[in-house]
């Protein structure tokens, strides 16, 4: 197995960890299109986040990457190989959003089961691996307790411990902090930091945008099955333009909104002293400033500010979620 | 073949809830058989073969222990159980074969318990044990178990709604036809012996559509080897297992649930 691991990781140095080309996925014989022409490249060692509103296609995309769903069209390569290749599975860890466990097992039995499935031998090193995994998720004190007696947060921790089994080079985590208390979230953050340090590639699907911003290196925003934005977390800087005006010369807000709309940017917020302008591209800044000045708006000071993922995408996520809820409600009423 | 799946599936059978459910099933069967044996029923080899080691218990047990959709040992019904398993380097054919083998092993244990109980019941009812039990009946039970388990593996390899519906239809058809035959026999005033034989024959006839058994007495005692019977039996098992692997390979285990 070590040969396989080496082969896969050697190839990883040449190819991106994940390469997705023109992926499409439909259900119900093409009637429900969930993913539409998705292309993505995740570099080896990236902590990559998939964000987007409910029903955007994040989980489906992850399912395709894990070869648990069959794409309707397009191509996926994991370390240069198809996602259902046995060598890929040997280096993959996965935490589903709603993991289900056997009631009768205890954590140690459960991890042993997954260790055997991962093809690891049951020697002292394997036993240590289980101890380490349990310690990493702070479940070592309940290692012999029946899973049936576990709380939701403890089950989530156990699911995470299972991901650590088999020393994965690529991890897929679907809502890893779901049902966890603040210490649990801190623990997930630490595990992700460890992954980052060890060069493990991680794909996370989460709604906790603040958490993602703290630990991830790149993100993709998905809406209605399409990737709208894909960039590094570090480029979140300089996408928010703060324009301040003199106190006594507050501009006409209608005019300001109209000019910004013409420039293709959004007025994110405004008060008596300033406006926050959300740029699509940071290079749009000078053009926007020029147009504002041309339209007679006097500006005292203009500077770029950092904007968090939450500020950038929460409105889009909430809007889509409201639409989805309304659609479900309408469907139920019919 | 996956040792992990085989080992842990067999280990799961020893979970107290599974054991209690199966014990209740066997107890019900023993009471029924005991009651029948205490009447004037003439025990034929056919009757013993169908009633004592018929498909009912292996069918229920196989369904109960093999299928993750039907097994009640999981922590949550709506959770992702198989997707987690198939994210590991486990070929789906290996999963199917391991489940089948573990089911066969477990049902063999049930058959042995049934044989012991049948032996004891015959003694309690004042009959000669050899009247109700012979090695051919036990051999048939084992061969049937192999075949039924393959059928159940196929049903459990189908996506949940299909698996449930197919099982529900088989079950409903068996109950309705058996009850129908029983009622008709009662109306026409048959004796207990004839009534019991009619019901058994009806159930046997119906099961023969879904799962092909083999009569080991016929195989060993006939002057020529009944090759056709053997080929039909083996191809039936192979067919179910092949279809199971195909269904499992085509099956999708993940869905948008956020």
Q: Which domains does chain A have, with CATH numbers?
A: 13-233 (3.40.50.300), 239-309 (3.30.70.330)
Distance, C-alpha B21 to centroid of its chain: 15
B13 Cβ contact list (under 8 Å, min separation 6): B19, B65, B102, B106
8 Å CB contact of A172 and B2: no
- Min Cα distance B88 → chain A (Å) is 5
Q: Note whether B84 contacts A60, CB cutoff 8 Å.
A: no
CA–CA distance, A68 with A49 (Å, rounded to integer): 19
Residues B4, A57: C-beta atoms closer than 8 Å: no
Chosen from A100, A107, A108, A208 to mutate, greatest number of chain B CBs within 10 A = A100
The tens-digit pLDDT sequence of chain A (334 residues) is 444 444 444 444 456 889 999 999 988 887 888 898 899 999 998 999 998 888 888 889 999 999 999 999 999 999 989 999 999 999 999 998 888 888 888 999 999 999 999 887 767 788 888 999 999 988 888 888 988 888 888 888 999 999 999 889 999 999 888 878 888 888 888 888 889 888 899 999 988 887 888 888 888 988 888 988 888 887 765 577 888 888 777 888 888 888 888 888 878 777 778 888 877 776 788 888 888 888 888 888 888 776 677 766 666 666 555 665 565 566 555 5
- Strand (E) positions, A109-211? 170-174, 201-205
CB contact under 8 A, B257 and A55: no
Q: Can you give the C-alpha Rg of chain A in angstroms?
A: 23
Q: Where are the domains of chain B?
A: 3-157+211-250
Beta-ladder partners of A20: A40, A76
Beta bridge partners of A171: A93, A202
* Complex-level ipTM beyond the 0.85 threshold: no
Report chain A residues whose CB lies below 8 A from the CB of B83. 63, 66, 68, 94, 96
Give the minimum alpha-carbon distance from B208 to chain A in angstroms, rounded to a whole number.
34
Alpha-carbon gap: B74 to the closest alpha carbon of chain A (Å): 4
In chain B, residues with a C-beta closer than 8 Å to the C-beta of A207 are 258
CA A272/CA A278 separation, integer angstroms: 18
Does B251 lie at the interface with A, CB-CB under 8 angstroms?
Answer: no
Contacts of A150 in chain B (CB under 8 A): 75
Residues of A in contact with B75 (CB under 8 A): 100-103, 147-148, 150, 155
Helix (H), strand (E), coil (C) string for chain B: CCHHHHHHHHHHHCCHHHHHHHHHHHHHHHHHHHHHHCCCCCCCHHHHHHHHCCCHHHHHHHHHHHCCCCCCCECCCCCECHHHHHCCCCCHHHHHHHHHHHHHHHHHHHHHHHHHHHHHHHHHCCCCHHHHCCHHHHHHHHHHHHHHHHHHHHHHHCCHHHHHHHHHHHHHHHHHHHHHHHHHHHHCCCCHHHHHHHHHHHHHHHHHHHCCCCCHHHHHHCCCCCHHHHHHHHHHHHHHHHHHHHHHHHCCCCCCCC
Residue A224 tokens read as 């209605």
B78 touches chain A (CB under 8 A): yes
pTM, entire model: 0.77
Taking CB atoms and an 8 Å cut-off, how many pairs form between chains A and B? 122
Per-residue pLDDT of A40-96, as tens digits, reads: 999 998 999 998 888 888 889 999 999 999 999 999 999 989 999 999 999 999 998
If you ran DSSP here, which 8-state letter would residue A31 be given? T
Of the candidates A216, A186, A229, which has an alpha carbon nearest to the alpha carbon of residue A317?
A229
């Amino acid at each position: 197995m070590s040969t396989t691991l080496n082969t896969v990781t050697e190839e990883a140095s040449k190819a991106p960890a994940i390469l997705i080309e023109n992926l499409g996925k439909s259900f119900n014989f093409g009637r429900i299109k969930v993913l539409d022409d998705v292309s993505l490249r995740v570099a080896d060692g990236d902590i990559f986040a998939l964000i987007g509103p409910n029903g955007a296609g994040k989980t489906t995309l992850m399912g395709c990457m894990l070869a648990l769903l069959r794409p309707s069209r397009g191509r996926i390569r994991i370390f240069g190989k198809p996602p259902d290749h046995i060598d890929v599975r040997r280096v993959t860890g996965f935490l589903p959003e709603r993991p289900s466990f056997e009631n009768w097992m205890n954590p140690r039995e459960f991890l042993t089961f997954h260790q055997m499935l991962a093809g690891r031998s049951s020697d002292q090193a394997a036993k240590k691996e289980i101890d380490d995994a349990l310690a990493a998720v702070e479940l070592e004190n309940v290692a012999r307790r029946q899973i049936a007696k576990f709380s939701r947060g403890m089950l989530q921790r156990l699911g995470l411990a299972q991901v650590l089994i088999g020393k994965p080079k690529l991890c897929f985590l679907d809502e890893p902090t779901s049902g966890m208390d603040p210490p649990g979230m801190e623990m997930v953050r630490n595990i992700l930091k460890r992954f980052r340090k060890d060069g493990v590639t991680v794909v996370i699907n989460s709604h906790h945008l603040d958490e993602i911003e703290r630990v991830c290196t790149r993100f993709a925003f998905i809406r209605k099955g399409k990737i709208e934005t894909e960039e590094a977390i570090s480029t979140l800087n300089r996408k928010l333009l703060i324009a301040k005006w003199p106190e006594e010369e507050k501009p006409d807000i209608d005019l300001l909104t109209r000019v910004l709309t013409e420039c293709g940017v959004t007025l994110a917020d405004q008060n008596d002293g300033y406006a926050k302008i959300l740029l699509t591209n940071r290079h749009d800044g000078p053009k926007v400033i020029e147009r504002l000045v041309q339209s007679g708006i006097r500006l005292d000071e203009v500077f770029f500010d950092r904007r968090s993922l939450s500020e950038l995408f929460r409105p889009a996520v909430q809007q889509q979620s409201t639409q989805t809820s309304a659609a479900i409600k309408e469907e139920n009423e019919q | 073949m996956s040792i992990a799946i085989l080992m842990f599936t067999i280990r799961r059978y020893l979970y107290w809830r599974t054991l209690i459910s199966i014990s209740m099933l066997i107890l019900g069967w023993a009471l029924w058989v005991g009651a029948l044996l205490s009447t004037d029923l003439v025990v034929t080899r056919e009757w013993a073969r169908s009633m004592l080691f018929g498909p009912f218990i292996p069918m229920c047990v196989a369904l109960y222990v093999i299928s993750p959709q039907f097994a009640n040992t999981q922590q949550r019904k709506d959770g992702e159980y198989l997707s987690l398993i198939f994210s590991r380097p486990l070929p789906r054919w290996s999963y199917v074969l391991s489940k089948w083998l573990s089911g066969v092993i477990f049902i063999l244990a049930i058959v042995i318990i049934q044989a012991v109980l049948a032996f004891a019941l015959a003694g309690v009812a004042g009959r000669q044990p050899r009247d109700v039990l012979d090695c051919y009946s036990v051999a048939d039970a084992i061969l049937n178990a192999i075949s039924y388990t393959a059928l159940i593996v196929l049903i459990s390899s189908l996506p949940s709604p299909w698996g449930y519906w197919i099982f529900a239809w088989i079950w409903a058809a068996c109950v309705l036809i058996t009850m129908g035959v029983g009622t008709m026999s009662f109306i026409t005033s048959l004796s207990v012996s004839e009534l019991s034989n009619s019901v058994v024959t009806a159930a046997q006839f119906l099961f023969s559509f879904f799962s092909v058994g083999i009569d080991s007495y016929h195989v060993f005692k006939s002057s020529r080897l009944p090759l056709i019977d053997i080929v039909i039996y083996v191809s039936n098992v192979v067919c179910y297992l092949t279809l199971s692997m195909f269904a499992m390979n085509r099956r999708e285990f993940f869905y948008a649930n956020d």
